[in-house]
Amino acid sequence: MDQEEDRVAASLAAARRTLRAGVEKSRALGHALARAGPRLEEIQVALPALEAAVRPIRAPRGELAAAGPHIDRAVGPAAAVLKVFDAVHGLEPPLLAPGGARGEDLPGYLAVLAQLEEARRFLAGNCGLAAQWLADIVEYLGDRDLADPRFLADLGVTLDGLRAPDGDLDGGLLAAALDILEAEFRRLLADHSAPLAMPKPGAAVAPARVPAAAVHKLSLILDRLAANGRQDRCVAAYMDARGSVVSASLGALGLDYLRDPAQDAQALGPALEMWGRHLEFVVRRLLESERQLCAKVFGQHKDAASACFAEVAAQAGVLDFLRFGRAVADAKKDPIKLQRLLEVFDSLNKLRLDFNRLFGGKACAEIQSQTRDLVKLLIDGAVEIFEELIVQVELQRHMPPPSDGGVPRLVTFVVEYCNRLLGDQYRPVLGQVLTIHRSWRKEVFNDRMLVDAVLNIVKALEANFDVWSKAYDNAMLSYLFMMNTHWHFFRHLKATKLGEILGDVWLREHEQYKEYYLSMFIRESWGALSPLLNREGLILFSKGRATARDLVKQRLKTFNSSFDEMYCRQSSWIIPDKDLREKTCNLVVQTIVPTYRSYLQNYGPLVEQEGNTGRYVRFTVDGMEKMLSALYMPRPRRSASIQIRHSSSKIDSAMTGLHRSASAVK
């Protein structure tokens, strides 16, 4: 029993040891498996690559040998493309360096930019081709199962992107460089943006406002930007910069008068003088310099140059100047308007060649059109007024003459007006206007015809004299009127253009008429008073003294009454010319005063004895002489002293304008 129990216990102990050893082995195996797991995963991940690497080894030897040349031919162009990509990256530092496009190094900068453009052209032409060759190899390898399909699929997607590039082959380097050039273009324009001042008369011509070196740089930059599709942006920048310069130049001139011109031809005079000077400055100095600058900067880009200059011209307000000229043409009808029309035409005609040169392109079509329309309006309006002048003068014959016997304002106006028309300022212009107008009607016109037309106006005015003189109820006033008017003709036409044309004989006739009517005036007026102081019946002896005294009293009384009447009447009459007035007064004094003095010396004592001298001797000799010497002084007259009524509203309007013009002549 004891032995059996010992044997069972020994068996159990052995089994326990066996189980414990198994558990230990299992535990050790578990730990080993835990440590081997990651390694197995790595092996599992590496297996496809290993399989792909081993695949060519498994491929038939002939196919592998045939694939080699194909791969070499595809890799060669790809390597060249990669080399150009590396060169592009090497251009980044000089192109993006601060201030690289400034200063004298601009040509060097542009040379580097040219290398970049050449590289981009190479890449654009070869990158897709190289990618296609590589894609063909991928397809070749796939068809023959010479490479892993997944690898080939990923490579195919990459190659598809290379075969259709989005244009950013240089990583945006060209765009950045062009931005730098554009900024330099704007800077150069801004640095030379000083306005042009209008020079004083006789001043030297100012030097070019933009130095030649800056112009050259602008042109070089523009060429590169235009070659890269940025011409429109350059045009916009140029228009903005130069337009601002032109606007600033005009701002200093004070052109407010262009916006609200007067409607009266007389009032337009001062503004029109400024208009002519300002227009000449704008066209010949400001826009001419802008045209030259535009041509130099844009070079061969002529369409862009034309568009830029047209915009600059618009900024210069050329159309505003033309609209002001149109306002002159549309002003109220007035003989003075003829001079204004001629002045506008003359200013435009002097600038005709400049206009044709500056505004001849399609971009300035509106300026051309408005200029042609304005010139036609000026010519038609000037000819119409000129041809109506003689009609207006003839219509004045039916108007009453001045009530004070002075020179009619119409005479004063026409004499000065015709002298101006035949003067150096207006005669050639009027002749040219009439010649152009006649040519439109296929007719001929010459200077002699102009002179004859003006002479006919003067002769029509002369014909008015007799009609006007007969309108006076008082013959003495009629003589005074004729004396004044003929003398005015002589004095104001002598040594003038019109006087030279009329001739000395014609002028002397007017001088002789003046002398004739002066003598008639003295004889019929003051000459009639001297006989009132006659000595008939005045015999001074003792028995006849009382009778003589009564005769002296009666004759002095009659003389005083006639003198008062004559003096009062003629106190309202005038002689505008100072020399003629002094001569006439002297003649009046010589006609009256000596007789009056002698009469008082001889017969005054008869009246003085009664102690009531003032009743009969109302004037002292000196007092009478002073009174007579102060006669005929001119006084301001209202311009509406002559009025006209006519059934034709057109003529009536024109005549009203003629009177208004005449009243403006001082």
**DSSP conformation letters of 149-192:** HHHHHHHHHHHHHHHS--S-TTTTHHHHHHHHHHHHHHHHHHHT
CB 311 within 8 A of CB 247: no
- pLDDT above 70: residue 205: no
Rounded-to-5 percentages of helix, strand, coil across the chain = 75, 0, 25
Greatest Cα pair distance, the chain, in angstroms, is 235
- pLDDT above 90: residue 199: no
DSSP state of 211: -
Residue entry with tokens 């051309």: 368
**Helix 318-329 × helix 335-350 angle, to 10°:** 150
CA distance 527 to 547: 27
Task: Determine which of 29-38, 429-438, 502-511, 544-553 has the lowest per-residue pLDDT on average.
Answer: 29-38
**What's the Cα-to-Cα distance from 361 to each of 226, 280, 310, 406, 443, rounded to whole Å?**
22, 20, 9, 59, 32
338/91: higher pLDDT? 338
CA distance 269 to 340: 7
- What would the two tokens of residue 255 be? 């052109």
**What's the Cα-to-Cα distance from 664 to each of 409, 438, 655, rounded to whole Å?**
9, 31, 14
CA distance 487 to 123: 98
33 plus 109 within the same structural domain: no
* Local confidence band at 464 (pLDDT 50, 70, 90 cut-offs): very high
162 plus 311 within the same structural domain: no
Q: What is the pLDDT of residue 84?
A: 46
522 lies in a domain? no
Q: Return the sign of the alpha-carbon dihedral for residues 307, 309, 313, 315.
A: positive
96 plus 34 within the same structural domain: no
37 plus 96 within the same structural domain: no
Q: What is the pLDDT of residue 541?
A: 47
The pTM assigned to this predicted structure is 0.72
Q: What is the pLDDT of residue 97?
A: 74
Task: Out of 369, 397, 425, pick the residue that ends a domain.
Answer: 397
pLDDT, average across residues 539-557:
73
* Local confidence band at 656 (pLDDT 50, 70, 90 cut-offs): very low
- pLDDT above 90: residue 485: yes
190 lies in a domain? no
pLDDT, average across residues 93-119:
71
43 plus 80 within the same structural domain: no
- What would the two tokens of residue 476 be? 């003495």
pLDDT, average across residues 595-606:
87
Task: Out of 171, 201, 217, pick the residue that ends a domain.
Answer: 171
- pLDDT above 70: residue 447: yes
Residue of 478, 480, 508, 482 lying closest to 493 (CA atoms): 508
E strand intervals along 46-145: none
Task: Determine which of 114-123, 483-492, 639-648 has the lowest per-residue pLDDT on average.
Answer: 639-648
Most trustworthy range by pLDDT among 1-10, 105-114, 371-380, 604-613:
371-380
CA distance 514 to 508: 10
Name the domain count of the chain: 4
Task: Determine which of 133-142, 343-352, 484-493 has the lowest per-residue pLDDT on average.
Answer: 133-142
CA distance 358 to 309: 9
Residue 129 belongs to what domain range? 71-171
Residue of 389, 392, 390, 387 lying closest to 433 (CA atoms): 387
**Helix 106-143 × helix 149-163 angle, to 10°:** 150
Task: Out of 397, 421, 446, pick the residue that ends a domain.
Answer: 397
185 lies in a domain? no
333/54: higher pLDDT? 333
CA distance 641 to 400: 9
* Local confidence band at 618 (pLDDT 50, 70, 90 cut-offs): confident
CA distance 629 to 472: 25
276 plus 332 within the same structural domain: yes
pLDDT digits (tens, 9 = 90+) for 135-192: 555 555 554 555 556 655 655 566 555 555 555 655 677 778 888 888 889 999 999 8
Residue entry with tokens 């024109």: 654
User: Which residue type does 351 have?
Assistant: L
pLDDT, average across residues 487-505:
90
Q: What is the pLDDT of residue 355?
A: 92
How many other C-beta atoms can be found within 10 angstroms of the C-beta atom of residue 111?
A: 11
How big is the CA angle at 255 (ends 252 and 261), to the nearest 5 degrees? Answer: 165
223 lies in a domain? no
242 plus 380 within the same structural domain: yes
Exposure string for 523-539, b = 16+ CB within 10 A, e = fewer = eebbbebbebbeeeebe
625 lies in a domain? yes
pLDDT digits (tens, 9 = 90+) for 232-287: 999 999 999 999 999 999 888 888 888 877 777 777 888 888 999 999 999 999 99
pLDDT digits (tens, 9 = 90+) for 550-596: 888 888 899 999 999 999 999 999 999 999 999 999 999 999 999 99
User: In whole angstroms, how large is the CA radius of gyration of the chain?
Assistant: 56
Q: Return the sign of the alpha-carbon dihedral for residues 329, 332, 335, 336.
A: negative
- pLDDT above 80: residue 45: no
Residue entry with tokens 């019109």: 498
132 plus 241 within the same structural domain: no
Q: What is the DSSP string of 133-153?
A: HHHHHHHHHHHTT-S-HHHHH
Task: Determine which of 78-87, 304-313, 352-361, 561-570 has the lowest per-residue pLDDT on average.
Answer: 78-87
Residue of 221, 32, 180 lying closest to 98 (CA atoms): 180
Q: What is the pLDDT of residue 660?
A: 46
User: Which residue type does 475 have?
Assistant: A
- pLDDT above 50: residue 640: no
337 plus 283 within the same structural domain: yes
pLDDT, average across residues 110-136:
59
CA distance 69 to 196: 72
Q: What is the pLDDT of residue 9?
A: 67
355 plus 248 within the same structural domain: yes
pLDDT, average across residues 345-353:
95
Spatial CB neighbours of 126, under 8 Å, sequence gap ≥ 6 = 77, 80, 81, 84
180 lies in a domain? no
237 plus 356 within the same structural domain: yes
* Local confidence band at 546 (pLDDT 50, 70, 90 cut-offs): confident
- What would the two tokens of residue 588 be? 């009046």
Query: The domain spanning residue 612 has which CATH number?
Result: 1.20.1280
* Local confidence band at 645 (pLDDT 50, 70, 90 cut-offs): very low
Q: What is the pLDDT of residue 268?
A: 80
245 lies in a domain? yes
122 plus 42 within the same structural domain: no
Q: What is the pLDDT of residue 333?
A: 83
How many other C-beta atoms can be found within 10 angstroms of the C-beta atom of residue 177?
A: 26
Q: What is the pLDDT of residue 613?
A: 62
450 lies in a domain? no
Q: Is 446 helix (H, G, I), strand (E, B) or coil?
A: coil
* Local confidence band at 100 (pLDDT 50, 70, 90 cut-offs): low
Q: What is the pLDDT of residue 321?
A: 92
* Mean pLDDT over the full length of the chain: 79
Task: Determine which of 195-204, 334-343, 549-558, 655-664 has the lowest per-residue pLDDT on average.
Answer: 655-664
pLDDT, average across residues 418-427:
91
- pLDDT above 90: residue 525: yes
N- to C-terminal Cα separation, the chain:
175
191/659: higher pLDDT? 191
pLDDT, average across residues 411-427:
91
Residue entry with tokens 């262009």: 258
